[in-house]
Amino acid sequence: MAPYSCARNEFSGEASVYLDANENPMNGPYNRYPDPLQLALKKKIAKIKGVRETQIMLGNGSDEPIDLVFRIFCEPRVDNVVAIDPTYGMYQVCAEVNDIEYRKVRLNPDFSMDASRVLAAVDANTKVIWLCSPNNPSGNLLDRSQMRRVLDGFAGIVVIDEAYVDFSSESSWLSDLGKYPNLIVLQTFSKAWGLASVRCGMAFASEEIIAYYNKVKYPYNVNLLTQTFVNEHLDKETEKAEWVAQILKSRADMKQQLLGLAVVEKVCDSEANFLLVKVKDANAVYRELIARGIVVRNRHNVTLCNDCVRITVGTPAENERLIEEMSKMK
Ligand SMILES: *Cc1c(COP(=O)(O)O)cnc(C)c1O
């Protein structure tokens, strides 16, 4: 398949007169189509992450690189993918939109993963295995040696979603990219970087996989405003590190305080910026918090999450209000 060849692809050097793309000559710089490969931004990201620019795909949030995995690697109504359960909901949504069978492998009650059970769900038509670590909604890291067994034992694509990696005590899988040509690592600017509204997600993989991404994605999938805004934010690494440190401290405080409340039965260990909390009656807690103007995520109907709510770590003042309201509940 030949990708769409846009004006910005056919000529990518520096010229003084651009009459190739039917743009309006006025209203610079917004009149021009943006760089389809976002090279200036990738250059900066490559340096920070220790990868080559050609190992990066940028998308409209992580949603885009997630969806494109199905569109690139799976044949509708023929192929299937395997994923841990519970996990982030977008993998299943994208599977269903693309008409690809989605096979769930239930985690252990402590949300740990047995590689052997994941690999047992694989058949000849399995093209992708979805892992998420730290996982959502549980917040735990998957065991590294179990993940390695999945990577070693499966010849198809293995996606590791690291949206919460900045909050975790373990390092990224990025350093293993060279070892696993079938590995895709997902990260995002939506969490630690505080840019959820800007919509920019990252996929890191072998150059071969990134070439497929570039072929299938919309040519101008990341607009100029996002490219320049994220680029500027990358200079604020110190500020981001301070935010993360603050959130980690609040996460520990919040866990301690929650454990002291009558309504709380259990708080899962978290390597992310949220806590999965088991309460006496999740529906009631959710409802009562809403009535007091506080929104948490009710996970009661999610696998292994009976009577659990997922609570994002907020500012110290926000966390205090949550604890205050929850302390009134029995
Ligand atoms: C929040 C989250 C994302 C981020 O998605 P974006 O589209 O980049 O905002 C990705 N994966 C997981 C598991 C998440 O929880």
Mutating to test ligand 1, I would choose from 58, 85, 90 the residue with most ligand atoms within 8 A of its C-beta, which is 90
**Given this model, what pLDDT does residue 14 score?**
87
* Ligand 1 nearest-atom number relative to CA 135: 13
Q: What is the CATH number of domain 238-326?
A: 3.90.1150.10
**Given this model, what pLDDT does residue 7 score?**
82
Decide if pLDDT at 2 tops 90. no
Contact indicator for 270, 134 with CB cutoff of 8 Å: yes
Q: What is the pLDDT of residues 270-302, one digit of tens each?
A: 999 999 999 999 999 999 999 999 999 999 999
**Given this model, what pLDDT does residue 137 score?**
98
Overall average pLDDT of the 175-202 stretch = 98
Ligand 1 mean position, distance from CA 163 (Å): 6
Pick the more confident residue, 57 or 6.
57
Is the CB–ligand 1 distance for residue 105 below 6 Å? no
Is the CB–ligand 1 distance for residue 196 below 6 Å? yes
Mutating to test ligand 1, I would choose from 94, 188, 198 the residue with most ligand atoms within 8 A of its C-beta, which is 188
Q: What is the pLDDT of residues 231-255, one digit of tens each?
A: 999 999 999 999 999 999 999 999 9
Decide if pLDDT at 136 tops 90. yes
Please enumerate in sequence order all residues whose Cβ is within 8 A of that of 2, keeping only pairs 6 or more positions apart, or say none.
none
Mutating to test ligand 1, I would choose from 57, 60, 62 the residue with most ligand atoms within 8 A of its C-beta, which is 62
Ligand 1 mean position, distance from CA 296 (Å): 17
* Ligand 1 nearest-atom number relative to CA 87: 13
pLDDT class of 62 with cuts at 50, 70, 90: very high
Kindly tell me the sign of the dihedral angle through the C-alpha atoms of 245, 249, 200, 46: positive
Decide if pLDDT at 147 tops 90. yes
pLDDT class of 185 with cuts at 50, 70, 90: very high
Enumerate the domain spans of the chain. Answer: 7-233, 238-326
pLDDT class of 10 with cuts at 50, 70, 90: confident
Is the CB–ligand 1 distance for residue 172 below 6 Å? no
- Give me the chain's average pLDDT, please: 97
Quick one: 325 exposed, middle or buried, by C-beta within 10 A (0-12, 13-18, 19+)? middle
**Given this model, what pLDDT does residue 133 score?**
98
**Given this model, what pLDDT does residue 87 score?**
98
pLDDT class of 12 with cuts at 50, 70, 90: confident
pLDDT class of 9 with cuts at 50, 70, 90: confident
Task: Domain 7-233: give its CATH architecture.
Answer: 3-Layer(aba) Sandwich (3.40)
Rounded to whole angstroms, the Cα distance separating 116 from 146 reads 8
Chain mean position to CA 72: 18
Q: What is the pLDDT of residues 71-125, one digit of tens each?
A: 999 999 999 999 999 999 999 999 999 999 999 999 999 999 999 999 999 999 9
**Across-strand partners of 274?**
312
**Across-strand partners of 159?**
130, 184
Please give the order of strands across the beta sheet that includes 274-279.
264-267, 274-279, 308-312, 297-298
